[in-house]
Amino acid sequence: MTPSGDPTEIRCQEESRGGLRYEVILADPVTDTPPKPRPVSPTAKTPDIESITEKMIAAEERRKTLEATKLNELKAKMSRIEEAAKKRDEKTQEFINATKSALDQKMKIHTEKHEEFLGDLISKVKDHLEIVDKHRQSTTESGDKMTEEVRNSLEERLRTASEQREEHLRKQLERLKEHVSTISY
Over the stretch 48-106, which tens digit does the pLDDT of each residue have? 888 889 999 999 999 999 999 999 999 999 999 999 999 999 999 999 999 999 999 99
Determine whether 180 is exposed, middle or buried from the number of CB atoms within 10 Å of its CB (0-12, 13-18, 19+).
middle
Q: Is residue 76 part of a domain?
A: yes
User: Residue 47: its pLDDT value, please?
Assistant: 73
Is 105 among the domain residues? yes
Q: Is residue 86 part of a domain?
A: yes
In a domain, 65, yes or no: yes
The answer to the question of residue 12 being in a domain is: no
Question: Residue 8 domain-assigned?
Answer: no
Helices 49-138 and 141-184: crossing angle in degrees, nearest 10, is 170
Q: How much is the pTM?
A: 0.35
Note the pLDDT tens digit of each residue in 7-55: 666 666 677 777 777 777 777 777 777 777 777 766 656 778 888 899 9
Q: What are 107-157's pLDDT values in tens digits?
A: 999 999 999 999 999 999 999 999 888 877 777 666 667 778 888 999 999
Given a contact cutoff of 8 angstroms between Cβ atoms, the answer to whether 118 and 158 are in contact is no
Q: For residue 2, is it within any domain? A: no
Does a structural domain hold residue 150?
yes
Domain tally for the chain?
1
Domain coverage including residue 71: 50-184
